[in-house]
Structure 1
Amino acid sequence: MSTDRPVVVAVPEEAYAAGLADAAHVEPVVWDPSHRHEREAEFRLVVPPYMGPPPRVERFRDLPALEVVQLLSAGYETVLDRIPPGVTLCNGAGIHDASTAELALTLTLASERDLATHLLAQSRSSWAGPRMWRALADKRVLVVGYGRIGHAIVSRLLPFEVEVTVVATRARGGDDLVDAVHGIDELPVLARTADVLILIVPLTDSTRGLIDADVLARLPDDALVVNVARGPIVDTDALVAECSSGRLRAALDVTDPEPLPADHPLWSTRGVIITPHIGGATSAMAPRARALVRRQVEALRDGRPLENVVKPATSLSR
């Protein structure tokens, strides 16, 4: 560890600076990318703000000492082309596991227990019933995407007495929660028996449009599609058609397009619940984010490997 060259770190808020205040040989600076700062030439690690668009590529190129960009989001597809050669990009994997898993379960339960009907009845001072209502128990749940958040979702699903099947890019052995992990090539067959389909895959060229009209058509009648991943993973027009007919239901934290225009048919499609991309934005995020930033700063300072590297630095000149 160098004692004469502190690691100058650009952070988005005072809370992150306070979390680094007692770290040896580290100097945190609160930085707004839309404004110039007198210490920019010294920034070695930058943490862009969580909310709002990422900084322009020109802003990163203006930082001659920059070595690492640490995102506070798990998704990074909108930032990849903004990272100059020679700079390592790390995402916020792990920060949002609890929050996003909570929302996936919340959306699933809200739809399965028909909460929208009861809230509407409450607004009318009306007692809905009597009738038999859906339950989550005994349902067959297919989770597409079995990384850290997928694992967190499954750990919360299992106590509800469901049958869970998980899908990842490639088939592999099971773990502490599931007996086996199925490959994405098995999705068309597995969809035929899924009462609930939960999506938590990253948006890539291979996952864009993954849940298309064919996959949706394979789902059983009255199946529920829960998307806490990215909107373009689902064919929106095909989903609207299936839900409008009453054959499928959906609970969506993400949409395509996003934000959803006021006149978009999804708003009024029967059986659809929509939340405005709030999966990770909870009180659980902040302490996990500050802890990750501190670990990354200390790793950079000490010359240790970084966590969550999604785009390693290249040797090309900046």
Structure 2
Amino acid sequence: MATADQRTEAHDVWLPIPPDEIEDLPAGLRYLHWDAGLDFPADPERCVFYAVPYMKGAGVSLSPLSRMSRVRVVQTLTAGVDDMLPGLSRMPSGAQLCNARGLHDASTAELALTLILAALRGVPDFVRSQDAGEWRPDVRPALADKSVLIVGYGSIGSAIEDRLTPFECARVARIARTARDTVRGPVHPLSDLSALLPDADVVVLAAPLTEATRGLVGGDFLARMKDGALLVNIARGGIVDTAALLTELRSGRLRAALDVTDPEPLPAGHPLWHAPGVLLTPHVGGPSSAFLPRAKRLLRDQLTLFAAGEPLRNVVATAGGSGRE
């Protein structure tokens, strides 16, 4: 946390949103706008609070950190911080990395439900038929009476279940890093995954990308999914072994709806583009009309705490400490 002396010496705040568009920012700090432009808005040495440009890539976002020797807070506008974790070694000891937990819950959960319904009801095929001017009625699976498994039950996973509630699912099971109880029922530990996978008609990935989850959805995971099941990924592409998924898609045994991929962006000519049974969206879970007002509120709230010397929310790692918290 910044001391009074540190704020006197350096008090610049870099924001990816123009400061005059954020109401009620606390006094005593100098607010500068930088959204990944070619030139920095000021000397990075004077920056004490760095709000990372949104969806501009790790290379750009990390570029000023080695010169931010007085930065106390690095605030992302994403729930996942995997792109920024390499920057911990460039941050001064004690500086905090904060994520945007809660910011994308509504928008990402909406997209998750959209992908589930569109994939199950065959919307992509109907769009292709419309483009061809062909009337092709068909009977498709409903979400009603299906069993859904949510892998990664944080705020986004919980928001997804909120939106599943009216759809008469037969069962919703929940997986997280550690077990706990909720008002909706138990959250199972990751060690229960193998036992729960065979019963799920829809598997939704909402977990952060960590060393524990990278490549989690590999050949063994996919082989335990039931025939005809749908894999939905609104988390991070690196959680899924793309080659293993392609094998299952080509066999016709599984289907997938993916908002994130590995690699990403998906290059032209990649086999995922034309794999059977896959629906792709270009990492648009967060970007929506719901983003900007929530991003402004998050930045204002965090800066108010920072200016008052109060503990920040959503601290996920501390430089020079034990890493992830």
* Residues 168 and 184, structure 1, Cα contact 8 Å, conserved in 2: yes
In the other structure, the counterpart of 1:63 is 68
Q: Deviations over 1:212-261 (max 9, x none)?
A: 11111111111000001111211111111111111110000011111112
In the other structure, the counterpart of 1:116 is 124
Shift of 1:65: 2.9
Shift of 1:114: 0.7
CA distance in 1, matches of 2:297, 2:34: 19
Shift of 1:20: 4.8
Aligned: 1:127 with 2:103: no
CA distance in 1, matches of 2:119, 2:50: 40
Shift of 1:22: 5.0
Shift of 1:262: 1.5
In the other structure, the counterpart of 1:193 is 199
Q: What is the correspondence of 1:1-318 to structure 2 with a 5 Å cutoff?
A: 5=8, 7-14=11-18, 16-20=19-23, 23-32=26-35, 34-38=38-42, 40-54=44-58, 55=60, 57=62, 59-83=64-88, 84-86=91-93, 87-129=95-137, 131-162=138-169, 163-173=171-181, 175-176=182-183, 178-314=184-320
CA distance in 2, matches of 1:63, 1:158: 46
Shift of 1:32: 4.9
* Residues 20 and 26, structure 1, Cα contact 8 Å, conserved in 2: no
Q: SS at 1:311's partner residue? A: strand
Q: SS at 2:71's partner residue? A: coil
CA distance in 2, matches of 1:257, 1:22: 38
CA distance in 1, matches of 2:239, 2:31: 37
How many residues get paired?
A: 312
Q: Deviations over 1:17-61 (max 9, x none)?
A: 431565333331113554233454432101121021234656223
Q: 1:135 to 1:58 in 2, by over 3 A?
A: closer
Give, as a single letter, the amino acid of the residue that structure 2 aligns with 1:155: D
Using structure 1 for the length normalisation, give the TM-score. Answer: 0.92
Q: Deviations over 1:145-204 (max 9, x none)?
A: 00000000011011111110000112221x23x211111111111111100000011111
CA distance in 1, matches of 2:273, 2:279: 8
- RMSD of Structure 2 on Structure 1 (CA): 2.2
Moved more, 220-229 or 117-126: 117-126
CA distance in 2, matches of 1:213, 1:111: 22
Shift of 1:313: 4.0
Q: 1:26 to 1:309 in 2, by over 3 A?
A: same
Give, as a single letter, the amino acid of the residue that structure 2 aligns with 1:74: A
CA distance in 2, matches of 1:58, 1:283: 28
Give, as a single letter, the amino acid of the residue that structure 2 aligns with 1:50: Y
* Residues 73 and 96, structure 2, Cα contact 8 Å, conserved in 1: yes
> Any stretches of 5+ residues in structure 1 without a counterpart?
none
Moved more, 42-51 or 194-203: 42-51
Q: 1:311 to 1:17 in 2, by over 3 A?
A: farther
CA distance in 1, matches of 2:162, 2:206: 14
Q: 1:230 to 1:300 in 2, by over 3 A?
A: same
Shift of 1:283: 1.1
Give, as a single letter, the amino acid of the residue that structure 1 aligns with 2:30: E
Moved more, 77-86 or 205-214: 77-86
> Any stretches of 5+ residues in structure 2 without a counterpart?
none
* Residues 70 and 92, structure 2, Cα contact 8 Å, conserved in 1: no
